[in-house]
């Protein structure tokens, strides 16, 4: 068989990514050869994938997570179009893994036919190779100002004849209006593919919700396939840093007598915020995102994460007082870590004729290096070690590189070929590598070093924490939620047989364009 399904949502962050992953894991456990797909993603959280030509390319982090749910290695075709916002008005376009252009809302229209063609071709290939492809939409299909030229929501569903379910986040409130309104703002041909609904993040008495679900069914002629409960443990691989609460995850009690407090700066254009998630899986490590300078004073470790706009986010640090707070943290002898764009901000100077086009700007001056931006983008997996015998792996995504460095500077990491990477300078650390903390031995080494520098002599790392196992538990939990709380028999019929042909039209429909 060749089956498919589109998971659409009433809003961004309604639960499309996790529901798609959960359905993928449920099907994978049934022995179905299944793959994920998202025609276009807009996110600065990306994963590096090796393409068929051996070059590194980027896809959305969520699609890499969904691939793992399917038991697959990531594939560039799982997310053929990735838009990486560099500002409120411009985004870098990554097409089948490679950066090809920077666009604004106006210029996007001219490029959109090429992007749609690439996305449709990628889905066609995947459907020829897999039994089932579970597709994720973007935003909401009822964004009526964007329906012309759409190729990720109902445009994709129409092109590929995909039955569609709409997920709504009840925790936000107004879920019935959102689900009904999403359907009622679509034209008849689009509505004909909307087969039903899923409610996400419910907590409370299901009996109180049941009458509303019945009324929604009467109003729309469509069933609700199930109600997913609020699950506190679902926080790994978040699509967007804004989905995080102030504290990541559910910190377990420390193995020793002291906690380790980690403050991560929530940059306006933060990228690959998932880098710090592995730290939050460690017992006794409290990881929080913050924009408050005062909160840095109490932290044991301050992390400057990646950024899609290094110079602009550096200016924001100065405007908000966070730059001074970071400098004061270092002056007090407490450790700091910069990752990718955050590493670049720690430099003495940044020479950027490419991303910000501001030329030379002063960095924070906490590392004796200078950064120069190149039009060529480095996108590749990275493997190496620290202290010669502690293995570490990660990946690189950056335009900037270290153009000048103090020859006596101690590297943080070394590639397998012996080349130096990153820096350690007193309590200041930096690297261009993302994802290093997923390496269990390196994470323990780094946290042990941080605890010593911060004077937390009572902190002890846990010798048995496995980030890979934590991720697998997360994916299995998603599969369990789908199996236990959704009508999987009805979902399977939908995947296998497409949307019913007798679904009623719900007025008023889409406005005339």
| Catalytic annotation, residues | 340, 434
One-character DSSP codes across 333-359: T--EEEETHHHHHTSSEEEESSSS--E
> If you search the block for the tokens 């950064």, which residue do you land on?
371
User: From CA 209, how far away is CA 205, in angstroms rounded?
Assistant: 7
User: For the chain, how many residues are written?
Assistant: 513
What per-residue string of b and e applies to 118-145 under the rule 16 or more CB within 10 Å gives b?
Answer: bbbebbeebbeebbbbbbbbbbbbbeee
Crossing angle for the helix pair 16-29 and 467-485, to the nearest 10 degrees:
90
The CA dihedral of 431, 433, 434, 435, to the nearest 10 degrees, is -110
DSSP-based three-state secondary structure for 293: helix
Is the CA virtual torsion 180, 159, 90, 61 positive or negative?
positive
User: From CA 128, how far away is CA 32, in angstroms rounded?
Assistant: 14
**Which stretches does DSSP call E strand in 33-150?**
34-37, 40-42, 46-50, 56-60, 81-85, 90-95, 98-104, 132-136
For Cα atoms 500, 502, 11, give the angle at the middle one, nearest 5 degrees: 65
User: Exposure of 201 by Cβ count < 10 A (0-12 exposed, 13-18 middle, 19+ buried)?
Assistant: buried
CB 500, CB 471: distance < 8 Å: no
Q: Tell me the CA distances in angstroms from 86 to 42, 284, 297, 312, 430, one per residue in order.
A: 11, 35, 30, 9, 22
* Phi/psi at 478 (5° precision): -60, -45
DSSP-based three-state secondary structure for 396: strand
Neighbours of 269 (CB within 10 A): 19
């Amino acid at each position: 068989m060749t089956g498919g399904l589109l998971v659409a949502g009433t809003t961004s962050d309604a639960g499309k990514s996790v529901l798609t992953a959960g359905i993928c894991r449920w099907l994978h456990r049934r022995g179905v050869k299944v793959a994920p797909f998202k025609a276009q993603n807009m996110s600065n959280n990306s994963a590096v994938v090796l393409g068929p030509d051996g070059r590194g390319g980027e896809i959305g982090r969520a699609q890499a997570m969904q691939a793992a749910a399917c038991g697959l290695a990531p594939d560039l075709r799982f997310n053929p179009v990735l838009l990486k916002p560099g500002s409120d008005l411009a985004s870098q376009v990554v097409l089948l893994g490679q950066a090809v252009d920077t666009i604004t809302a106006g210029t996007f229209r001219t490029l959109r036919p090429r992007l749609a063609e690439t996305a449709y071709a990628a889905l066609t290939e995947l459907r020829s190779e897999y039994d089932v492809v579970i597709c994720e939409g973007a935003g909401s299909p009822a964004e009526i100002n964007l329906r012309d030229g759409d190729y990720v929501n109902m445009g994709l569903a129409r092109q590929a004849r995909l039955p569609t379910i709409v997920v709504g986040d009840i925790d936000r409130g107004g879920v019935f209006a959102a689900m009904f309104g999403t359907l009622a703002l679509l034209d008849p041909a689009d509505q004909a593919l909307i087969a039903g609904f899923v409610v996400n993040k419910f907590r409370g008495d299901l009996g109180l919700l049941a009458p509303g679900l019945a009324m929604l069914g009467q109003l729309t002629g469509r069933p609700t396939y199930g109600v997913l409960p609020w699950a506190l443990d679902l926080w790994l691989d978040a699509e967007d840093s804004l989905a995080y609460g102030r504290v990541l995850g559910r910190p377990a009690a420390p193995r020793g007598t002291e906690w380790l407090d980690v403050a991560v700066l929530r940059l306006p254009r933060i990228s690959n915020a998932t880098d710090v998630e592995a730290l939050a899986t460690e017992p006794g490590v409290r990881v929080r995102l913050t924009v408050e300078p005062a909160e840095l004073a109490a932290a044991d470790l301050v992390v400057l994460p990646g950024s899609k706009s290094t110079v602009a986010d550096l200016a924001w640090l100065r405007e908000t007082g966070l730059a001074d707070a970071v400098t004061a943290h270092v002056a007090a002898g407490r450790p700091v870590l910069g990752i990718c764009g955050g590493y670049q901000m720690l430099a003495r100077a940044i020479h950027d004729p490419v991303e910000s086009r501001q030329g030379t700007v002063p960095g924070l001056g906490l590392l004796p290096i200078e950064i120069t931006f190149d039009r060529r983008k480095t996108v590749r997996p990275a493997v190496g070690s620290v202290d010669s015998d502690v293995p570490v792996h990660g990946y690189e995504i950056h335009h900037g590189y270290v153009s000048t460095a103090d020859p006596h500077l101690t590297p943080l990491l070394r590639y397998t070929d012996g080349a130096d990477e990153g820096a350690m300078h007193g309590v200041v650390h930096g690297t261009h590598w993302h994802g290093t903390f997923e390496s269990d031995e390196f994470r323990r080494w780094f946290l042990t070093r941080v605890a010593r520098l911060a004077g937390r002599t009572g902190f002890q790392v846990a010798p048995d924490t496995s980030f890979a196992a934590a991720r697998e538990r997360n994916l299995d939990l998603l599969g369990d939620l789908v199996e236990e709380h959704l009508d999987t028999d009805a979902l399977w019929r939908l995947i296998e047989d497409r949307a019913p042909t007798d679904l009623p039209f719900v007025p008023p429909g889409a406005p005339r364009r």
